[in-house]
Amino acid sequence: SGAPRPRLAFLGTGYLGTTYAICFAEMGYEVLGFDVDIDKIARLTDGEVPFHEPGLEELLKRNLAAGRLKFCTNLAQTAEFGDVHFICVGTPQRVDGMGADLSYIEAVVSGLARHLTRKALIVGKSTVPVGTAEWVEQLVGKHAPAELGVEVAWSPEFLQEGFAVEDVLRPNRIVAGVNSEWASSMLYAAHKGVLDLAATEDRDLPVVVTDFATAELVKVAANAFLATKVSFINAMAEVCEVAGGDVTQLARAIGYDPRIGNRFLQAGVGFGGGCLPKDIRAFQARAQELGAGEALRFLHEVDLINQRRRTRVLQLAADLLACRCGPAGPDLSGTRIAVLGATFKPNSDDVRDAPSLAVAALLAKAGAYVHVYDPQGMHNARRAQPDLTYAPTMTDAVRDADLVCVLTEWADFRNADPHALGTLVTHRRIIDGRNCLDPALWIQAGWEYRGMGRP
């Protein structure tokens, strides 16, 4: 329709804010991305996405050229620009415990509020402990000129790294935590592009309009459920390991029941990344504060199952290499191990809480000489784990290895030729930490194969 579209500001150009800013510009909105990081803003302005996300850089360049998308480090300019301000800054795990650090939210919201000169909507997108939206509303009340009537809404996001563009343009639902008609209509206008696209493609796009607390909880509940699903199948893997079952077939069989569903049932070295692990901890900490700690006690178990997957690889390695087990655990000294994969999942360069890197560190600590290779994550891995040895190619990592561990399911590894790799190693031994290889193929090529939760 002819109604003017609101101008959208995205505050915090991390993973979330950058992807949203670019994708909303692609839908035709006038967009401004703000960050305090001068270097990041300079790179974005030059058309460079500071992380690996398929398809995103092309969209960035196109929308910069079209003049719909700009970036800046100036809060006053951002306040002046936006009708709707999306708060996309990080909420990392607090150094003193399991809760979330809200200092970035506090800084950006109070700074923005002080600079506002007209009515605007501030929309929280960051993952936060329940109760934060109300606190943000108080912050805005304290710092924004009262006569402007600035309002707050909460609209969590569910994008997955590696699929971020698609997830933002074609989300499977929109959640709108609002407490006024005006906020609701502004939020609707800000999402009209997404809703129109769904209508054009004849897709259902449900909008759940709710209160602040529910909107905040939807996000952490969704991530807690996903983490639980992964740990559930990994728990089944543990049982399969002692009972002699095959968890991949088990997952396939239970997944045919639509009430269970076949996705997120991939057993392996467990979940990592910047969201699932920290979110389940922050959720427990918040529930505890609110007096409902018992309700989320199972998430502690979800975390423990997830951690055990990492030590499982260490045990398997010791087993395959026939290493002795000392009082401090297996002794892998004198062995050479190739670790394929450093990112927490494929199609990403993100190594935050990556099971692959954690396992590499465990193997190294047990005395093995570990060579790590990853198609996209080398730069970040080197910074996160500078003590490990990195190989420039898969071939270099695997050469002279006594054992190969595939810990992230990159296509390069899934499609690797077992015969070709076999000529490089000292012994054909492989741990498939993601159950992403065809065991028959590797066994035929003379490899000793160990999967996760498979005989």
Selected catalytic residue, list 23, 88, 240, 275 = 275
List the binding residues: 35, 40, 91, 127, 158-161, 219, 264-268, 272, 278, 345, 352
d(CA 126, CA 450): 39
Position among 49, 265, 342, 368 found at the interface with ligand UGA (CB under 6 A):
265
Beta bridge partners of 123: 86, 153
| 359 is a contact residue toward ligand UGA (CB under 6 A) | no
Our CA dihedral for 199, 200, 202, 205, rounded to 10 degrees, sits at -30
The one-character DSSP state at 294 is: G
Assign 3-state DSSP to the chain and report helix, strand, coil percentages, each to 5: 45, 15, 40
Told to check if 442 binds ligand UGA by CB under 6 A, we report: no
Choice from 345, 371, 428, 450 touching ligand UGA (CB under 6 A): 345
Please return the burial class of 330, using the count of CB atoms within 10 Å of its CB with bins 0-12, 13-18 and 19+.
Answer: buried
User: 275 catalytic, yes or no?
Assistant: yes
Please report whether residue 188 would count as binding ligand UGA according to CB under 6 A: no
Q: Which residue has the tokens 């839908």?
A: 27
Give the separation between CA 105 and CA 40, rounded to whole angstroms.
Answer: 19
Among 17, 33, 177, 268, binds ligand UGA (CB under 6 A): 268
Alpha-helix runs per DSSP H in 244-296: 247-255, 276-290
DSSP for 307-369, written as a single string: HHHHHHHHHHHHHHTT--EETTEE--TT-EEEEE--SSSSS----TT-HHHHHHHHHHHTT-E
Q: How many residues bind ligand UGA (CB under 6 A)?
A: 21
Q: Which residue number, 162 or 422, has a Cβ lying nearer to ligand UGA?
A: 162
Is residue 344 within the footprint of ligand UGA (CB under 6 A)? yes
Interface residue with ligand UGA among 91, 127, 248, 385 (CB under 6 A) is 127
Interaction between residue 356 and ligand UGA (CB under 6 A) = no
User: Distance between CA atoms of 57 and 49, rounded to whole angstroms?
Assistant: 6
- Residue 8 or 168 with smaller CB distance to ligand UGA: 168
Q: Does 273 bind ligand UGA (CB under 6 A)?
A: yes
Write down the least CB distance from residue 79 to ligand UGA, Å: 26
Interface mask (CB under 6 A) for ligand UGA, residues 148-177, using x and -? ---------xxxxx----------------
Tokens 């005989």 belong to 455
- With CB under 6 A as the contact rule, the residue among 270, 330, 377, 433 that binds ligand UGA is 270
Among 71, 81, 232, 271, binds ligand UGA (CB under 6 A): 271
124 binds ligand UGA per the rule CB under 6 A: no
Residues that bind ligand UGA (CB under 6 A): 127, 157-161, 223, 226, 230, 264-266, 268, 270-273, 275-276, 344-345
> Among all residues, which ones are annotated catalytic?
275
